[in-house]
């Protein structure tokens, strides 16, 4: 992959946006380290602390922002919910594309490389999404979700795209980004509005996102592939 990167003609910056709220230290570090471990080097990680009340959150984010120039951090004085915090993270982003990552999930090392490799094949794509699986608390990978190719009818009935999803940032700005008051369905709402504006959408049939199952998380819910919380 490192050799292939040298031969790429198009190497856009991908901004990974992650709202953070009271995340356990072990999961937060694993999330951040999964981005730092990306084989593709042209990324930035935009972390927004959504008024966390657990003091380790601020300390960990400040630690990373001083040691990694590709990490950007904003601390909010009060909790604004996942849609509000995601909006702040989106404002930090400067890349051509935006990838969504939750604060306790992980990306495999090849995730962003596979996205950019596809963009080199089809550079006018506005949205790329991938397959995903889930992580048990002990790190075991389970419940792979092998998604269909682009299906507007299916998206109208459920958020089958979820993650990993990578958006062209200019089009995100045109539609106004995340909408407040839709916490729990903010990603689904974003996808529905985004896909009204473009059909330049591609599916990478590889598991490139690990959704962690912890007590109380949407990944552990019996609702399966319902809109992410």
Using CA atoms, how far apart are residues 27 and 20, in angstroms rounded to an integer? 11
Q: Which two tokens stand for residue 80?
A: 């604004």
Distance CA 107, CA 109 (A): 6
pLDDT band at 216 (very low <50, low <70, confident <90, very high): low
Phi, psi of 185, rounded to the nearest 5 degrees: -125, 15
In whole angstroms, what separates CA 42 from the centre of its chain? 15
Residue 228's pLDDT is 40
Note the pLDDT of residue 183. 87
Q: Which three-class secondary structure state does DSSP give residue 177?
A: coil
Q: What is the C-alpha to C-alpha distance for residues 38 and 107, in angstroms, rounded to an integer?
A: 8
Tens of pLDDT, residue by residue over 91-126, are 999 999 999 999 999 999 999 999 999 999 999 999
Tokens of 88: 């702040």
Secondary structure of 34-58 in HEC code, one letter for each residue:
HHHCCCCCCEEEEEEECCCCCHHHH
Please give the structure tokens belonging to residue 184: 């729990």
Write out pLDDT tens, residues 10-39: 999 999 999 999 999 999 999 999 999 999
Question: Quick check: 229 pLDDT over 60?
Answer: no
User: CA–CA distance from 33 to each of 84, 163, 164 (Å)?
Assistant: 24, 18, 17
pTM flag (> 0.85): yes
Tens-place pLDDT, residues 146-195? 999 999 999 999 999 999 999 999 999 999 999 988 888 999 999 999 99
- Residue 197 CA to residue 52 CA, distance in Å, equals 35
CA distance 20 to 166: 19
Joined tokens for residue 169 = 């940032």
């Amino acid at each position: 992959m490192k050799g292939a990167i040298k031969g790429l003609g198009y190497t856009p910056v991908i901004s990974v946006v992650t709202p953070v709220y009271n995340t356990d230290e072990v999961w937060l570090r694993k999330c951040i380290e999964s981005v730092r471990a990306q084989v593709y080097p042209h990324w930035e990680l935009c972390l927004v602390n959504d008024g966390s009340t657990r003091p380790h959150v601020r300390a960990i984010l400040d630690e990373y922002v001083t040691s990694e120039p590709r990490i950007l951090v904003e601390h909010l004085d009060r909790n604004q919910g996942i849609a509000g915090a995601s909006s702040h993270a989106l404002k930090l982003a400067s890349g051509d594309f935006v990838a969504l990552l939750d604060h306790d999930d992980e990306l495999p090392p090849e995730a962003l490389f596979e996205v950019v490799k596809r963009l080199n094949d089809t550079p006018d794509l506005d949205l790329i999404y991938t397959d995903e699986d889930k992580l048990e608390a002990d790190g075991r990978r389970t419940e792979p979700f092998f998604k269909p190719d682009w299906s507007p009818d299916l998206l109208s009935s459920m958020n089958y795209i979820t993650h990993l999803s990578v958006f062209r940032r200019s089009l995100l700005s045109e539609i106004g980004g995340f909408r407040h008051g839709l916490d729990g369905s903010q990603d689904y709402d974003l996808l529905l509005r985004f896909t009204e504006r473009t059909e330049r959408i591609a599916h990478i049939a590889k598991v490139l996102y690990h959704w962690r199952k912890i007590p109380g998380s949407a990944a552990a819910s019996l609702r399966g592939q319902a809109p992410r919380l």
